[in-house]
Structure 1
Amino acid sequence: MYDNHIHSKFSTDSKMDAEAACKRAVEIGLKGIVFTDHVDYDYPDFDESFLIDYENYFQVFCGLKDRWKGKLDVLIGVEMGFQPQVTDKINQVLAMYPFDFVINSVHIIDHMDPYTGAFFRGRSQQQSYERYLEEILLSVNAYDNYDIIGHIGYAARYGNFEDKPLRYADYSDILDMILKAVIHKGKGIELNTSGLRSDLQQPIPGYDVFRRYFELGGEIVTIGSDSHFTEHLGHCFEEAAHCLKAIGFKYTMHFEKRKPVFEAF
């Protein structure tokens, strides 16, 4: 299996050494890893460290790819933080560099990050999650230069609510619009296992969303740990694969040069 979502020191919120990540990936039996460091343009309380020096990025990871050839597939991706006003900048950058894989993620809504708690102030849980999902739907349709939608349900990790998970049954109308749009555009969704090591106690999104995605005809699924530490690489991948197979999926995939590569269960 491939871990399709990991963060190295190029992400301001990660201290993970890329070489150490490769070593750990081999130790736990992964076939490949995809570095998908954060890029968030126009981030609230702007911090240059949320941007990447792309020339250095590719120099480092191309070297890593060569050093681990034959032992581990090292692929170069990016996690692009969506906001409506930055899509032109995202498209400009993606046209300039040969990424293998692009995650379209929503981290900022109404210029507020759920991580800080500001997004939830003055909103109920339902209002918060609905507004978050509206932004996901906007991101799906706003541009085409991405491969999958990342961690649908990210906001649920940070709300100060007694019962945190974002469940399909509670937001079925807008989740159906998101999933249908993803399928129509030939894109995919991510099973992000970070939720399984949080108080959500389920992947992001939950398996209920994947069941509906499968019912609607969705096929493109990647699995990623969203690791910021080596010990989280490949976290709960066997469980994730087992549950996807039980739903009916025949394979997951990773991307090379922006093309899907299928991995049968």
Structure 2
Amino acid sequence: MGFIIDSHIHTDYSPDCKAKMEDIVIKAVELGLKQIIFTDHVDYDSPDELFMKEIDYSEYMKEIKYLRDKYKEIEILMGVEIGYQPHLNKKLDKFIKSYPFDFVICSMHSCEGLDLYNGDFFKGKTQRQSYMRYFESIKYCIETYDNYDVYGHLDYIVRYGNFDNKKLKYEDFKEIIDEILDLIIKKGKGIEVNTAGFRYNLKTTHPNTDIVKRYIEMGGNVITIGSDAHKPDDLCADFDQAIKILKAIGVKKIAQFKNRIPSFIEI
């Protein structure tokens, strides 16, 4: 485990997290990690008031420098998870170019201006309509926006919605998912395998195994693993399960980023 970086970690700079940055570093050292990368939320114009507070990146970078000086045994990198919405392209691009990020995750936490978490997006829609509109929005994102490295938790929508069975079958959305994966690959981007699905009792990663397998079949080769940790104990959570799944579908190497450039490690 010690050689694998957890590529999706939040701290109390994210408004939905209370974990201190230093506590995460201490846990990473305990786990024997050689690198750690923070990917706190930047969700401009979120429909959730909680995310309206913006990170002070001058303070953020000061704390990272302090931790780098204190914990020489681990390399501490700075990433970000951006919450995509179609009207934010220029603002997001300007923001990302303003700071020395090592890694950028592009995610969708709201869709058509409506919150997924609180259920607003699902009102008046069937499950299939909800999932289809969500994937159509992701496709538009990938068609029109390029300043990111991997697309985060591609089937994130399955966490939410008041449905009896939240399972998403690749075959039910094959055409739109293939279009998304094809665009990701053609644009030289990667996907994240996010292990938080296990903590949400979904018994799978985000995206699920069939989608990851299809990405590989179509020629994709940039996969990161992230826990989406919001507390120290979730750092690298369920990585053993994720790696077992990836090996079973033929994945041999995992990507990790520094200076926005991927390197690959065998699993």
The bucket for the TM-score relative to the shorter chain is: over 0.9
Question: Secondary structure of the residue that 1:2 maps to in structure 2?
Answer: coil
Question: How much has 1:47 moved relative to structure 2?
Answer: 5.1
1:136, 1:178 within 8 Å by CA — same for their partners in 2?
A: yes
Aligned to 1:52: 55
Q: Output the CA distance in 1 between the equivalents of 2:127 and 2:167.
A: 10
Gaps of 5+ in 1: none
- TM-score normalised according to structure 1 size: 0.96
Q: Output the CA distance in 2 between the equivalents of 1:49 and 1:9.
A: 14
One-letter code aligned to 2:22: E
2:205 is aligned with 1:218: no
Bigger drift between 189-198 and 132-141 goes to 132-141
Matches within 5 A, 1:143-154: 143-154=145-156
Bigger drift between 123-132 and 60-69 goes to 60-69
2:29 is aligned with 1:20: no
Aligned to 2:129: 127
| Deviant stretches of 4+, over 3 Å | 45-50
Question: How much has 1:183 moved relative to structure 2?
Answer: 0.3
One-letter code aligned to 1:25: A
| Percent of residue pairs bearing the same amino acid type | 46
2:199 corresponds, among 193, 197, 200, to: 197
Aligned to 1:136: 138
- TM-score normalised according to structure 2 size: 0.95
Q: Output the CA distance in 1 between the equivalents of 2:108 and 2:53.
A: 14
1:11, 1:49 within 8 Å by CA — same for their partners in 2?
A: no
Question: Secondary structure of the residue that 1:212 maps to in structure 2?
Answer: helix
CA RMSD of aligned residues (A): 1.3
Aligned to 2:174: 172
Deviation string, structure 1 residues 144-169 (Cα, Å, up to 9, x no partner):
11000000111110111111122211
One-letter code aligned to 1:43: S
The alignment of Structure 1 onto Structure 2 pairs a total of residues equal to 264
Bigger drift between 53-62 and 204-213 goes to 53-62
Question: Secondary structure of the residue that 2:100 maps to in structure 1?
Answer: coil
2:261 corresponds, among 251, 259, 264, to: 259
Change (3 A) 1:47 1:160: closer
Bigger drift between 241-250 and 41-50 goes to 41-50
Q: Output the CA distance in 1 between the equivalents of 2:48 and 2:38.
A: 25
2:48, 2:115 within 8 Å by CA — same for their partners in 1?
A: no
One-letter code aligned to 2:8: H
1:65, 1:75 within 8 Å by CA — same for their partners in 2?
A: no
